[in-house]
Structure 1
Amino acid sequence: MTEIPSNNLPPMAAGVISRAKDILLKPKETWPVIAAEPATTQSIYVPYVVLLAAIGPLAGFIGGQLFGISMLGITYHPPLVGALVTAIVTYGLSLATVFILALVIDGLAPSFGGQKDQVQALKVAAYAGTAGWVGGVFGLIPALGIISLLFALYGLYLLYLGLPVVMKAPQDKAIGYTVVVIIVYIVLFLIIGAVVGALAAPSLVSIRG
């Protein structure tokens, strides 16, 4: 497979791809770099989070329309408008979740011997989410959704590696720190699922009607 030369890509896209590749393939070397580099909330979100968080919703939307969703031998193609609403809402809530998770990481830091710093906490939330976002591309083929789950699980490992480095928490408290953050993330994930379902339902009903 021929790799696309980085100089053929817009600088912004090339930077996102390079950082994503580094955090996925060599996280132990990359987290210290992330911890030391200057950043702001805007520089973390744009373009990194804004671009990568769109992968899953966009892939899921396209995959659902092209291939449909199969359950119990039945293939279902979501109505176009309902699927679009779901994708947009999911994307928006994903962006918000990164910020909320960063607040949680920052707030918990002193309890695990770390240092409070909202920007550093946002780095952890954003870059640890890389695996899950990249794995979202498999939503293009709904039957491969399990692969997306595996990527998300790898993201938990990235979180475990990044918390002690970026938040300056003792290594012996990294597991506890990670577990608590994961629990909060699961709660947020369930809330997002409920909100997306509630907001998309009226569109689905109107289409069917």
Structure 2
Amino acid sequence: MELLEKVRDILLQPRQAWPELKQEATTIKGIYVYYAAVLAAIPSVAYLLGMTLVGISFLGTRYRAPFLGTLGYTVTSYILNLAALYVFALITGRLAPRFNSDGNFLNAIKLTVYSSTPYWISGVLLIIPTLSLVTVILSLYGYYLLYAGLPVLLSTPREKRSLYFIVLVAVSVIISILISFIASILFPQGRMGVV
């Protein structure tokens, strides 16, 4: 499947997309290079532009983040997010036997990466920083995709799917918090300047 077709199918027809993606002849490198790395750049670039060029208005005053600090933060977050996909897939695969599921690592990578699609696509809204909450809400659809993909990609039985899903959501939240924390420590944005 081409990139845009794949994105469309994952977002709009996940029940049909998951079986096709399971059968897809690909590699971890292929998924990263031709899908994850491309789409993960969308929220990163949008965030950088939004925070440094658009900024946030508060009580009639516009505030913008400093470019270099935000660039460092954005690049670090991008790299850490790509690494987090791998870690999350590794944990997903390792936990699979506890939930009577198949721990096939390639399928765990597919599940992890393709479930992230809503976040990456909705991340374009970060170009307008005041819409960041909308991005968060839209990206929650990724959790539905994760839930829907478990029985297909990892053969998770129905009676184990909900608990496995809850555990994976908790793991993803912890990983997200760690990424934000690490990126903030390495590249503190400092105060937003008044424009």
Runs of 5+ consecutive residues of structure 2 not aligned to the other structure:
none
Once the two structures are TM-superposed, the CA of residue 71 in structure 1 deviates from its matched residue by: 5.1
- Where 1:53 maps in the other structure, the secondary structure is helix
Runs of 5+ consecutive residues of structure 1 not aligned to the other structure:
1-13
Report runs of 4+ in structure 1 exceeding 6 Å deviation: none
Once the two structures are TM-superposed, the CA of residue 39 in structure 1 deviates from its matched residue by: 2.0
Name the residue aligned to 2:33.
Answer: 46
Distance 2:139 2:118 in 1: 6
CA 1:40/1:146 → structure 2, altered by over 3 Å: closer, same or farther? Answer: same
Distance 2:179 2:58 in 1: 22
- Select the structure with the greater relative contact order (CA < 8 A; seq sep ≥ 6): 2
Name the residue aligned to 2:119.
Answer: 132
Under a length normalisation based on structure 1, what TM-score does the superposition of the two structures give? 0.87
Name the residue aligned to 2:79.
Answer: 92
* 8 A contact 1:98–1:126 mirrored in 2: yes
1:189 is the counterpart of 2:176: yes
Under a length normalisation based on structure 2, what TM-score does the superposition of the two structures give? 0.93
1:160 is the counterpart of 2:147: yes
Distance 1:204 1:149 in 2: 23
Percent of pairs with identical residues: 35
Name the residue aligned to 1:80.
Answer: 67
Paired residues for 1:161-176 under 5 Å? 161-176=148-163
Name the residue aligned to 1:28.
Answer: 15
Matched pairs, number: 192
Name the residue aligned to 1:17.
Answer: 4
Residue 88 (structure 2) aligned to one of 101, 116, 127: 101
Residue 149 (structure 1) aligned to one of 119, 131, 136: 136
- Where 2:62 maps in the other structure, the secondary structure is strand
